[in-house]
């Protein structure tokens, strides 16, 4: 099966690729404006068909043994491994991310997720069976929730498809995924890989459509039992409103504004290099990317100078060039949105480096046709300013000084978000305090960004609730059922007398 053949359309329903009945839509390569694919978007009719396919497949897949589901996911990991080069190439074409990142991060991470959930499928956790009342044996069953409706974002299309699909189907659910219409191609490839791996038709379905039509219809659908969404906090609120109206289980992974807290005893060189990598990964289009660096005053000037120096050396250019460090942003619209944040910040802050749309790449190539934006460093902004509080979602780092540890931690928590953070220190007591007091779903110490399949990913506060990856994610896609057996064989039980009659 050629996973890269999109000629049959951008919908994948009941094991078959098909065309939508909605508006035509062009998937554009943001590196040069060329059209990667032209597709027809899904209407509510395609959503209904996908949900019906998922519902029809649910009894058989839910009844499959954990071992059978694990075998299927292991086969999926093998299919994805064979398709690795194609997945990286298509991911780069539709998102503009450097092929080096797609090859070394996105694809292997997705394969590892598949291998992890193959193992997790056979590990259903619960309280040990026992006679907790004395007269009954109780145990816990974990059962599938049902049909899952998931909406994934454009920044990591392949990985987000995996994060949505894998725990859901490992737990015995079936799923309809709506990827972002900007970047649906590797989600479609993932679904086709599921078919090639022998996962039954209808277990994994993909509908490519607009959020206000296909997305809202999916999360509102009466046959969808659980909704999972990754995206902005504003849209997440709308998803939650629609889901709660149907009393659906809801999982939201929303925006972030990750603090990067550098104490005065930190390894400065490590912190500088860590900040550059953590702020520029995926063009800064990462909800866990370092966006706010708080640096204790003795290191502040040297940190700013060090980041500025490394930013100036970052190679911006063609994402297919393995030497490129930073490719274009996902679209011209998004590039202009990021640039507008920086332009507004000039009125109240200092743009130390970057902040101008580049014309030439690191090798002299013309970048004017692409959605490029350079690494941009901002200082002298107030804590309550837009550039500090708002989610820019681009290669922009704001650096602010702090004096006391109390102040640094307070500033780190001073946004509505709480997805990820990092603390940089060589003092174990400082690191323990930071990991305890920073309100975020992940806190790194002396690093920022690495994720692993075995550990959960999810936020606090306006960054949402629920976990991706890890056993915790699998558990969220199950319903817990308490089963209780009488062990006495006594017809007239003593507790009945609390309701009627005499003892």
Tell me the catalytic residues. 253, 287
Rg, C-alpha atoms of the chain: 25
Task: Of 157, 255, 285, give the one whose Cα is nearest residue 462.
Answer: 255
DSSP one-letter string for 286-345: -TTSEEEEEEEHHHHHHHHHHHHHHHHH--BS-TTSTT-SB---S-HHHHHHHHHHHHHH
* 3-state class (DSSP) for residue 156: coil
Spatial separation of the C-alpha atoms in residues 131 and 250, rounded to whole Å:
33
Q: Which residues pair with 468 in a beta bridge?
A: 457
DSSP one-letter string for 175-230: EEEE--TTS-HHHHHHHHHHHHTTPPTTSEEE----IIIIIHHHHH-TT--EEEEE
Spatial separation of the C-alpha atoms in residues 394 and 383, rounded to whole Å:
19
Sorted by sequence, the CB contacts under 8 Å of residue 207 that are 6+ apart come out as 11, 13, 20, 42, 46, 47, 50, 176, 177, 178, 214, 218
CA angle at 313 for the pair 309 and 316, rounded to the nearest 5°: 135
The pair of three-digit structure tokens given for residue 55, joined into one six-digit string: 């519902």
Q: Are strands 350-353 and 249-253 parallel, antiparallel or unpaired?
A: unpaired
Spatial separation of the C-alpha atoms in residues 396 and 411, rounded to whole Å:
18
* 3-state class (DSSP) for residue 18: strand
Measured CA to CA in angstroms, residue 122 lies from 125, 163, 211, 477, 482 at distances of 9, 18, 35, 14, 20
The pair of three-digit structure tokens given for residue 76, joined into one six-digit string: 């999926």
């Amino acid at each position: 099966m050629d996973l890269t053949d999109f000629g049959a359309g951008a919908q994948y329903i009941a094991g078959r690729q098909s065309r939508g009945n909605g508006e035509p839509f062009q998937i554009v390569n943001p590196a040069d404006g060329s059209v990667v694919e032209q597709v027809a978007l899904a209407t509510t009719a395609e959503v209904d068909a996908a949900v019906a396919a998922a519902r029809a497949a649910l009894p058989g897949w839910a009844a499959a043994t954990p071992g059978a589901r694990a075998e299927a996911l292991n086969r999926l990991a093998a299919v994805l491994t064979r398709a690795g080069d194609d997945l990286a190439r298509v991911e780069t074409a539709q998102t503009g991310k450097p092929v080096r990142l797609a090859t070394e991060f996105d694809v292997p991470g997705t394969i590892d997720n598949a291998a992890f959930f193959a193992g997790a499928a056979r590990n259903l956790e619960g309280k040990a069976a026992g006679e907790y009342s004395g007269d009954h044996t109780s145990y816990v069953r974990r059962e599938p929730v049902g049909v899952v409706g998931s909406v994934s974002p454009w920044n990591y299309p392949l990985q987000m498809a995996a994060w949505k699909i894998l725990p859901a189907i490992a737990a015995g659910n079936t799923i309809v995924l709506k990827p972002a219409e900007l970047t649906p191609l590797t989600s479609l490839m993932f679904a086709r890989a599921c078919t090639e791996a022998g996962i039954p038709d209808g277990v994994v379905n993909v509908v490519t459509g607009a959020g206000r039509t296909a997305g809202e219809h999916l999360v509102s659908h009466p046959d969808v039992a659980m909704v999972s969404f990754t995206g902005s906090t504003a849209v997440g609120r709308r998803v939650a409103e629609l889901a709660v109206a149907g009393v659906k289980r809801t999982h939201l992974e929303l925006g972030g504004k990750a603090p990067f807290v550098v104490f005065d005893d930190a390894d400065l060189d490590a912190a500088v290099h860590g900040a550059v990598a953590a702020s520029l990964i995926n063009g800064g289009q990462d909800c866990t990317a370092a966006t706010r660096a708080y640096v204790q005053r003795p290191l502040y000037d040297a940190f700013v100078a060090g980041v500025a120096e490394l930013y100036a050396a970052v190679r911006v250019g063609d994402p297919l060039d393995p030497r490129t460090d930073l490719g274009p942003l996902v679209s011209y619209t998004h590039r202009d949105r990021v640039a507008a944040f920086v332009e507004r910040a000039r009125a109240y802050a200092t743009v130390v480096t970057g902040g101008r749309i580049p014309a030439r790449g690191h090798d002299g190539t013309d970048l004017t046709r692409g959605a490029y934006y350079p690494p941009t460093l901002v200082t002298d902004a107030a804590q309550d300013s837009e550039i500090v509080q708002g989610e820019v979602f681009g290669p922009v780092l704001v650096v602010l000084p702090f004096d006391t540890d109390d102040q640094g931690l307070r500033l780190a928590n001073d946004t509505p978000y709480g997805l990820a953070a990092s603390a940089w220190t060589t003092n174990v007591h400082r690191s323990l305090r930071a990991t305890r007091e920073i309100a975020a779903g992940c806190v790194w110490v002396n690093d920022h960004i690495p994720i692993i399949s075995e550990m959960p990913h999810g936020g606090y506060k306006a960054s949402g609730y629920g976990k991706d990856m890890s056993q915790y994610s699998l558990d969220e896609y199950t319903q817990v059922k308490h089963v209780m057996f009488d062990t006495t064989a006594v017809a007239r039980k003593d507790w009945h007398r609390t309701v009627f009659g005499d003892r």
